Structure 1
Amino acid sequence: METVVASLTIRYFAGARAAANGTRSETVEATTLGELKQQLTDRHGERLGVVLKAASFLVDGLTCHDETAPLPTDATVDVLPPFAGG
């Protein structure tokens, strides 16, 4: 089975945006959520890596928890850190 590398739009919210040095959105190529998290940590540093460990992820508006599931091509991934009081 051929692995498809998905071109993804990543959008950062709240503390994730701050940890990504103020980046609002960017494009990344990755096959899985686990690979995406590693790439983002490598790109922006361990501060974002810590946030990503606790963050929730929406892939095209649907919650994604499975770090090994293939990501759809051209998907939008929202990175939502834990929010105070919620």
Structure 2
Amino acid sequence: MDLTVRYFAGARAAAGRSEETAAAGQSLDELLGELAHRHGPRLAAVLQVASFLVDGVACHDRQTPLPAGATIDVLPPFAGG
């Protein structure tokens, strides 16, 4: 079973889509490497400064394998005030 990656704001623009799937079982760092390889340097730059939620919870351990069926939200820094 796969996991779902959802992109928001600038991450969506850089990826050219709002959502996609990836293989479960890899760590967040491994997933980010895969996504950067799929979509190129523009998304890679966004991923370096983004925050990540795993099933709605902030991800602080980027080495733990991501479970099947999980939803990963990619949240770039937001402007405003």
With structure 2 as the length reference, what TM-score do the two structures score?
A: 0.92
Percent identity, aligned pairs only? 62
Shift of 1:72: 1.3
Q: Distance in 1 between matches of 2:2 and 2:29?
A: 15
Amino acid at match of 1:45: G
Q: Deviations over 1:11-35 (max 9, x none)?
A: 00000000102x0100011410001
RMSD: 1.3
Residue 68 of structure 2, aligned match among 55, 68, 73: 73
With structure 1 as the length reference, what TM-score do the two structures score?
A: 0.86
**Any unmatched runs of 5+ in structure 1?**
1-5
Indicate whether 1:61 and 2:56 are aligned. Answer: yes
Aligned runs of 1:22-33 on 2, under 5 Å? Answer: 23-30=17-24, 31-33=26-28
Question: How many aligned residue pairs are there?
Answer: 80
Indicate whether 1:9 and 2:4 are aligned. Answer: yes
